[in-house]
Amino acid sequence: MAAARRHKRMAASQPGFLPLKSNLDGDSFNKKLRKRVNKNKKKNWNKFSDIQDVEEFLDDVRLQERATGGLISERTDDSLFFVDIGEKDEKDKDTQLQTTEKGKRSKPLRIDLILQSNSHIPAPKNVLAFQQPNAKKQRRTLERVAKSAAKGILPRREKLLQLRRAAAASGVSAKERPEAKNNPNRAFYDLWCAGTPETADPYYLEQTKKKLVKRPDRLNEKPSVLPAIEVIAPGGSYNPDFFSHQDLLREAHEVEVKKIKVEEKLARRLAVKEDVATAESTFKEQVEGLIEEEEIEPEDPEVDTEDTVIGPTATQEKKTEKQRKKEKAERIKELQRKAERRVIDKRQQLFQLRSISANLKKQEQRTKMRQAQRKAKQEAQKSMPRRLGRLKFQTPELDVQLSGELASSLRSLKPEGSILKDRFLSLQKRNIIEPRERAKVKRKYKAKYSEKRAFREIQ
């Protein structure tokens, strides 16, 4: 404030000072009685000293500086006034200038004009923008580097660079870093051209891991016989033949029917059985046995109770010597009989040769048939998706468009299904990757929901 006041005094004391805004209330201000206040406190200085005149003056100065680039009072007369000779010439010149610059008049947009700064004072520079962080430190390091360079000591990076250059010049190539494989502009070469055969010792190559291990042939077999690209049925054409389209639709329909059947079956099995308790049935249950029924109980069948004995009946009696001998003789006789029978049978088989051979043939045929069946099954298995993990491969739904959905022209065609998903499933179907599902996000704790107060207030 003090400075401003001083400034004002200085300007006012100068002879040709013209304030832009005439100060009308200056006189009334002087006449006012001054309020007495203690001026021994800084707070009061600020509070009770009236500085409006100074501020207005300073505003005026700033306005002048902005509008004209300096105080008008300091300007020479020539710069403020001119002799009015006539307007016409200048206007012409102006228009000429504008038209000659280009074929058409290039008039700046009004919006740009508005936004243009019309101040004569340049905007202050942002000091911070030009400041460098760590400038001092960097300057010091530069100085140090310069000093050491004068002595002939180079920094490490420089040294390495020079070494590399020297190596490159002498022909010894530095170790190359492998390039990223998806770099679009990496060098080209033929992978399958017959390069120069390796001349080094194979044992050396093997031990230094420069020779790759041979890939087993088994790995070059494909895990499925299915083709990589399975072309959609002719009914999947964008403008299909009527019957092939119907075929495809029928196929899709059958799949759908099967699915519905399974669902129905499940529902049927899970259904609650129909015998739900009614009032009548509960009552019946309660009185069960209390009411004497008219039906005559079936009379007990005649049971001879006198003969029934509980427990073992026959007590073991010791066999006599005679009995034992008899049994033994019988046993031997039986064995003999059987042996004889066997011999006779064998002899008889000679006459059954035909039927035996027929039997054999039948058996052979059966094994052959079974072998063929097994083989066919194995062949079929080759094209089937295998069970490779926790999940089974699910055949995707057929992509079809109903007759109403078919596009009338290529332009209005709406593609069905996603090729990305198709490719993914094809990889699964060909046993290249195992079927997977998206991992579910597991929460350790249950999420807790709470309403914010602001939200509650609205409701």
Partner 1 sequence: MGGLQKKKYERGSATNYISRNKARKKLRLSLADFRRLCILKGIYPHEPKHKKKVNKGSTAPRTFYLLKDIRFLLHEPIVGKFREYKIFVRKLKKAYGKAEWSGVERLRENKPAYKLDHIIKERYPTFIDALRDVDDALSMCFLFSTFARSGKCHVQVIQLCRRLSVEWMNYIITSQSLRKVFLTIKGIYYQADVLGQTITWIVPYQFTHDHPTDVDYRVMATFTEFYTTLLGFVNFRLYQTLNLVYPPKVSCSNCLDGQGEFSFKSECEEDYALESESYSEKLSALSASLVRTVPSVDEEEVELDHFPVEGEDLEKMEAREKIELELNKQKKLFEGLKFFLNREVPRESLAFVIRCLGGQVSWDKSLCIGSTYDETDETITHHIVDRPSIDKQYINRYYIQPQWVYDCVNGKILLPVEDYFLGVTLPPHLSPFVEESEGDYVPPEKLKLMALQRGEKPQAAAAEEEEEDEEEEEEEDDEEEDDQSEGEDEAEDEENLAEMEAKRAQGKSLSVKVTPGKAKPENRMRAYQEEKAEEKRLAIMMMKKREKYLYDKIMFGKKRNVREANKLAAKRKAHDEAGKADKKKKKKKC
**Which residues are near partner 1 by CB under 8 A?**
177-184, 188-192, 209, 212-213, 215-216, 218-220, 223, 227-229, 231-234, 236-244, 386-390, 399-401, 409-411, 413, 415-424, 427, 431-434, 436-438
**CB of residue 365 vs partner 1: minimum separation in angstroms?**
11
Q: Are the C-beta atoms of residues 49 and 1 closer than 8 Å to each other?
A: yes
**CB of residue 373 vs partner 1: minimum separation in angstroms?**
17
Residue 96 or 403 having the CB closest to partner 1 = 403
Cα gap 72→221, rounded to integer Å: 96
Residue 229 or 310 having the CB closest to partner 1 = 229
Residue 215 or 354 having the CB closest to partner 1 = 215
Residue 57 or 385 having the CB closest to partner 1 = 385
Structure tokens at 275: 């015998």
Neighbouring CB atoms inside 10 A of 427's CB total: 14
Structure tokens at 253: 């329909």
Helix, strand, or coil here: 410?
coil
**CB of residue 387 vs partner 1: minimum separation in angstroms?**
6
**CB of residue 219 vs partner 1: minimum separation in angstroms?**
6
Cα gap 387→422, rounded to integer Å: 19
Q: Are the C-beta atoms of residues 120 and 65 closer than 8 Å to each other?
A: yes
One-letter identity of residue 353: L
**CB of residue 140 vs partner 1: minimum separation in angstroms?**
18
Residue 431: name the closest of 387, 401, 378 by CA. Answer: 387
**CB of residue 309 vs partner 1: minimum separation in angstroms?**
52
Backbone angles phi, psi at 273, to 5 degrees: -70, 160
Structure tokens at 136: 């001092």
**CB of residue 205 vs partner 1: minimum separation in angstroms?**
13
Burial class (CB in 10 A: 0-12, 13-18, 19+), 282: exposed
**CB of residue 350 vs partner 1: minimum separation in angstroms?**
29
Backbone angles phi, psi at 31, to 5 degrees: -75, -25
64 Cβ contact list (under 8 Å, min separation 6): 20, 70, 71, 72
Report helix angle 2-13 to 52-68, nearest 10: 70
Residue 61 or 240 having the CB closest to partner 1 = 240
**CB of residue 405 vs partner 1: minimum separation in angstroms?**
9
Residue 72: name the closest of 7, 16, 118 by CA. Answer: 16
Residue 34 or 181 having the CB closest to partner 1 = 181
Helix, strand, or coil here: 402?
coil
Residue 68 or 244 having the CB closest to partner 1 = 244
Structure tokens at 249: 């639709």
Residue 243 or 283 having the CB closest to partner 1 = 243
Cα gap 147→144, rounded to integer Å: 5
DSSP 297: P
Helix, strand, or coil here: 55?
helix
Residue 64 or 431 having the CB closest to partner 1 = 431
Residue 128 or 219 having the CB closest to partner 1 = 219
**CB of residue 177 vs partner 1: minimum separation in angstroms?**
7
